[in-house]
């Protein structure tokens, strides 16, 4: 719908929400820049969204705004720096290789040396194991099918919690912003809803684990033996902060929820879309595999580094095109406009006054299909657009390739370097090892909106996230 409205009405669209409330769907690049960069925290998050995030995650970086968000981000930043993220690539490869090893065992036992794999299940478990080790020095054992209760609770969690909403769910979400904060928080804490109950249970379980981990990190720091995982770096930064500006214990515990939810679900979905497009476009898959093999030959190892990734232009082009074509976060205030608007009475305006309180929806998906920026073929998957230098940059919008996948400004994704390197690692390992092709179900994949955009099979949404691809060993592997 975002694409249709952008094509028909342009970069700013007024839509009617329930109760005849006006909302604005924004994909104009200059407006997005103003909202997310120039204006800083002047455009606040909707109260209902903050309350729902707080129920799900606790008072962590995703569920707060304004000065609290600014304080949390400053303390968390050292754990997500460029050098810190690059140092985690060996961990990413360890888990990617562990997954490919299990796939090889399955292929070896199959009659024709090929098998169908449901990618979301595999990648989700690998991503959870990576976050556990890299972020917390904690072992979920998801790829080993361990009996970890927290791992079980996170399985398919986002789909179960947000996908295929009932009429009751839609009504509830629509009235959240109209309810006084105390009443809304009370309802979210105690309402007898299976969806809400699962969210509450996950938060309770993860908070118990987080309390134990934070205590261990502080003890290790006190004895001069801190680890290098992200939580340890966060504990170290917090300990050296002005006491009045430190994260309180509930804020520290909530960061575990925030990192897992943001890291596992978004990464899993992005990688699923990547492998789907590579299966749809075998010529892209072959060209990428050739670049991977050539890079491995130059490096004399299959254990590539972040520097090796940077030397691979086609890998970079493929990753950018995946993030453009399939943004998993599809939607995230006087507005200056990149393209003037012609009003119903024929006036041309370049600025749009916005009444206080009106909700704004930043359409990541529509911005990424803007033909004036990404070319006439913006609705086509085409990695070479990034090599031909045909992508235009009218204004700076996002933190990576001027895409809006990781948003921009004060609320840009703090872990975007972590996510990008993890995605590059898995693409290199899987495409360098296997040949992926479509199955009959994967030819009818639909985009399911459930906090993130996840793949499901048309007509089988009740089965949850699915992406079944046919896998066999690539030549010489």
Confidence (pLDDT) at 171:
72
pLDDT of 433 > 90? The answer is yes
Confidence (pLDDT) at 335:
44
Both structure tokens of 143? 């790829």
- How far apart CA 434 and CA 421 sit, in angstroms, is 20
Highest mean pLDDT: which of 148-162, 309-323, 444-458?
Answer: 309-323
pLDDT of 300 > 90? The answer is yes
- How far apart CA 274 and CA 324 sit, in angstroms, is 11
- How far apart CA 182 and CA 201 sit, in angstroms, is 21
Confidence band for 263, pLDDT divided at 50, 70 and 90: confident
The single-letter DSSP state of residue 173 is: H
Least confident of 73-82, 97-106, 116-125, 255-264: 255-264
Confidence (pLDDT) at 350:
67
Task: From 396, 394, 393, 375, select the one nearest 384 (Cα to Cα).
Answer: 375
- How far apart CA 220 and CA 202 sit, in angstroms, is 27
Task: Give the number of C-alpha atoms closer than 13 A to the C-alpha of residue 382, restricted to the C-beta side.
Answer: 16
Which residues are bridge partners to 118 per DSSP?
A: 468
Both structure tokens of 400? 């990576």
Confidence (pLDDT) at 420:
97
Which is more confident, 40 or 134? 134
- Over range 96-107, report the average pLDDT: 97
Classify residue 36 as left (phi > 0), alpha (psi -120 to 50) or beta. Answer: alpha
Confidence band for 349, pLDDT divided at 50, 70 and 90: low
Q: Give tens-digit pLDDT for 39-98.
A: 888 888 877 778 878 877 889 999 899 999 999 999 999 899 999 999 999 999 999 999
Calculate the alpha carbon distances from 361 to 43, 322, 329, 337 in Å. Answer: 11, 22, 12, 15
Which is more confident, 13 or 17? 13
Mean pLDDT of the chain: 88
């Amino acid at each position: 719908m975002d694409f249709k409205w952008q094509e028909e009405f342009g970069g700013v669209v007024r839509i009617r929400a329930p109760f005849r409330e006006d909302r604005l769907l924004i994909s104009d690049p200059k407006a997005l820049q103003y909202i997310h960069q120039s204006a800083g925290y002047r455009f606040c998050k909707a109260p209902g969204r903050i309350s729902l995030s707080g129920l799900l995650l606790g008072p962590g970086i995703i569920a707060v705004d304004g000065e609290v968000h600014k304080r949390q981000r400053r303390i968390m930043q050292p754990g997500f720096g460029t050098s810190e993220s690059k140092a985690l690539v060996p961990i990413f490869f360890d888990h990617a290789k562990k997954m490919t090893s299990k796939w090889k065992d399955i292929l070896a036992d199959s009659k024709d040396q090929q098998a169908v794999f449901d990618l979301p299940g595999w990648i989700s478990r690998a991503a959870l194991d990576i976050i556990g080790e890299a972020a917390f020095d904690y072992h979920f054992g998801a790829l080993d099918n361990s009996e970890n209760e927290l791992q079980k609770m996170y399985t398919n969690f986002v789909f179960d919690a947000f996908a295929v909403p009932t009429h009751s769910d839609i009504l509830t979400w629509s009235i959240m912003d109209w309810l006084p904060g105390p009443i809304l928080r009370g309802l979210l804490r105690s309402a007898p809803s299976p969806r809400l109950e699962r969210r509450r249970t996950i938060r309770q379980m993860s908070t118990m684990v987080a309390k134990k981990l934070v205590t261990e990190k502080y003890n290790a720091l006190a004895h001069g033996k801190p680890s290098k995982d992200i939580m340890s770096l966060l504990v170290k930064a917090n300990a050296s902060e002005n006491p009045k500006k430190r994260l309180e214990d509930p804020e520290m515990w909530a960061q575990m929820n925030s990192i897992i939810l943001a890291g596992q679900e978004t990464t899993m979905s992005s990688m699923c879309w990547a492998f789907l497009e590579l299966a749809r476009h075998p010529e892209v898959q072959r060209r990428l595999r050739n670049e991977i093999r050539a890079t491995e030959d130059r490096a004399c190892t299959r254990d590539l580094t972040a520097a090796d990734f940077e030397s691979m232009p086609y890998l970079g082009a493929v990753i950018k095109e995946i993030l453009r074509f399939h943004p998993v976060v599809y939607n995230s205030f006087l507005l200056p406009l990149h393209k003037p608007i012609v009003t119903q009475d024929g006036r041309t305006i370049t600025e749009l006054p916005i009444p206080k309180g009106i909700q704004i929806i930043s359409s990541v998906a529509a911005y990424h299909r803007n033909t004036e920026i990404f070319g006439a073929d913006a609705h086509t998957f085409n990695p070479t657009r990034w090599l031909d230098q045909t992508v235009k940059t009218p204004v700076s919008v996002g933190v990576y390739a001027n895409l809006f996948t990781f948003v921009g400004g004060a609320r840009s994704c703090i872990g975007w370097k972590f996510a990008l390197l993890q995605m590059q690692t898995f693409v290199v390992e899987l495409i360098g090892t296997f040949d992926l092709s479509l199955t009959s179900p994967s030819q009818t994949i639909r985009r399911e909106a459930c906090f993130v955009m996840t793949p499901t099979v048309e007509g089988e949404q009740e089965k949850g996230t699915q992406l079944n691809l046919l896998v066999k060993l690539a030549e010489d592997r």
